[in-house]
Chain A
Amino acid sequence: DADVTQTPRNRITKTGKRIMLECSQTKGHDRMYWYRQDPGLGLRLIYYSFDVKDINKGEISDGYSVSRQAQAKFSLSLESAIPNQTALYFCATSPRTGELFFGEGSRLTVL
């Protein structure tokens, strides 16, 4: 089993729908991140959390929200999905100052 698990792996939805992407980890890391990948662009940071009570906006947080339900769980929500949120989304974890460990990715298509 993967150390960082994302669900769903693929999702097609319609404009205006609410979508939640979930991430859980078994690595025991405090730090968790949500990144977005678009063709031709680098991974861009949406939100990150260093603890259960800690939420921080990244470079492109508009249109997204997150919830850190437990040390092991970090969810990303799109309250009202729009087509330009079609992308590959990655959850990642890290120890305090170390490398990132990525989930398998969630491919979201908004029609």
Chain B
Amino acid sequence: ILNVEQSPQSLHVQEGDSTNFTCSFPSSNFYALHWYRWETAKSPEALFVMTLNGDEKKKGRISATLNTKEGYSYLYIKGSQPEDSATYLCAFDSGGGADGLTFGKGTHLIIQP
């Protein structure tokens, strides 16, 4: 069983502030690292799929970086808005999806107005 850790488990951030959280994963047998956003009562939706060491992806105010050699990825949210409140999941892919993805437990983000 692969170990994918996310920290912190939960996070309260004031509206307008920027924040970031971490996903750590095995540094061997890396194929891809996924980030998903999961809003309450909805389905998880993909934010990023990252495959290259040093990769940086951006979607609006959300961005992510990847370090495959040391086994971590950061997700950044700039200027948090209430609609950013969600659980953010990372998932490790060791074989091109051949064995499915291993998910972390998520970071639950609450943006306070």
Report if B49 contacts A (CB, 8 A): yes
Q: How far is the CA of A43 from the CA of B32 in the complex (A)?
A: 17
Q: How far is the CA of A94 from the CA of B91 in the complex (A)?
A: 14
Could you tell me if B97 and A42 are in contact, using CB atoms closer than 8 angstroms?
no
Chain B interface SS verdict (over half): loop
What is the CB-to-nearest-CB distance from A104 to chain B, in angstroms, rounded to a whole number?
A: 6
Task: List the 3 closest A-B pairs by CB distance, nearest first.
Answer: A99-B46, A42-B103, A102-B43
28 example contacts (A-B, Cβ-Cβ < 8 A) are as follows A4-B43, A31-B97, A40-B105, A42-B102, A42-B103, A42-B104, A42-B106, A43-B89, A43-B91, A45-B100, A48-B100, A56-B99, A56-B100, A58-B100, A59-B102, A90-B43, A90-B44, A94-B97, A97-B31, A97-B32, A97-B93, A97-B97, A99-B34, A99-B49, A100-B44, A104-B42, A104-B43, A105-B43
Report if B45 contacts A (CB, 8 A): yes
Q: Kindly report which residue of chain A lies nearest to residue B38, judged by CB atoms.
A: A102
Chain A residues in 8 Å Cβ range of B11: none
Interface positions, chain A 12-44, Cβ under 8 Å from B, are 31, 33, 35, 40-44
Which A residues are closer than 8 A to B by beta carbons? 4, 31, 33, 35, 40-45, 48, 56, 58-59, 90, 94, 96-105
A48-B100, A97-B97 as given contacts; A42 in contact with B4, CB under 8 Å: yes
Q: How far is the CA of A101 from the CA of B43 in the complex (A)?
A: 9
Report if B101 contacts A (CB, 8 A): yes
Q: How far is the CA of A104 from the CA of B34 in the complex (A)?
A: 19
Chain A proximity mask over B1-14: 1 for CB below 8 Å, otherwise 0: 10010000000000
